[in-house]
Structure 1
Amino acid sequence: MSDNRPALPDHLSIDPRSPHHVAAVFEHDIGILFNGKDRSDVCEYCISEGWVKVPAGKTVDRKGFPLLIKLKGQVEVFYR
């Protein structure tokens, strides 16, 4: 099964409007470890720069999208 999954990119976003969105990756269940803890609320990550973006509570911008905060630390990504 692992040979038909695309390689996980260094920078990935769940937002389809982003240039870092890779639809093929989201056909599979991926996991993200941030500073050793499994995070399910990550909206965007960059492994090489060591950050993740997560929603800032229930706050939304004027277009209705969640406001994101950037957390710096160790990022590990894997297929479940």
Structure 2
Amino acid sequence: MTTDTPPDRLATNPDSPHYDEAALARGVGVRFKGVEKNNVDEYCVSEGWVRLAVGKTLDRKGNPVTVKLQGEVEPYFRDDGQG
């Protein structure tokens, strides 16, 4: 089922329970506090936070190092539902 609203919570890490390959394949953009962000690793609209990757640094398990920020999260599909 395809919807025009991205999931409330989405992660780019396949090991996360919030990973959604179909949504990611469609292309999800995120505005955080009104600013377009291209380094979002995970977000939650209802709780109002994003996890942003910090540079190219990896933790000891090989995952990106992230920082969690609170604020208004606006996800959207980049393809505008066309396709």
Q: Same fold (TM over 0.5)?
A: yes
**CA positional deviation for 1:56:** 2.1
Instruction: Tell me, in whole angstroms, the C-alpha distance in 1 between the residues paired with 2:75 and 2:56.
Output: 25
Measured in 1, the distance between the counterparts of 2:27 and 2:42 equals 15
Q: Which residue is 2:21 aligned to?
A: 23
1:76 and 1:55 mapped to 2: Cα distance?
18
Question: Is the counterpart of residue 5 in structure 1 residue 7 in structure 2?
Answer: no
**TM-score normalized by the length of structure 2:** 0.83
Count of residue correspondences: 77
Aligned partner letter, 2:2: R
Structure 2: stretches of 5+ with no match in the other structure: 79-83
Runs of 4+ in 1 over 3 A off after TM superposition: 4-7
Could you say which residue in structure 1 is the equivalent of 2:81?
Answer: none
- RMSD of aligned alpha carbons: 1.4
Conserved 8 A contact 1:14-1:21:
yes
Query: Percent sequence identity over matched residues?
Result: 44
Distance in 1 (CA, whole Å) between partners of 2:72 and 2:15 is 26
The residue identity in structure 1 corresponding to 2:49 is: W
Secondary structure of 1:43 counterpart: strand
Asked if the contact 1:11–1:44 (Cα under 8 Å) also holds between the matched residues in 2, the reply is yes
1:76 is matched with which residue?
A: 74
Give structure 1 stretches of 5+ with no counterpart: none
1:65 to 55, 63, 66: 63
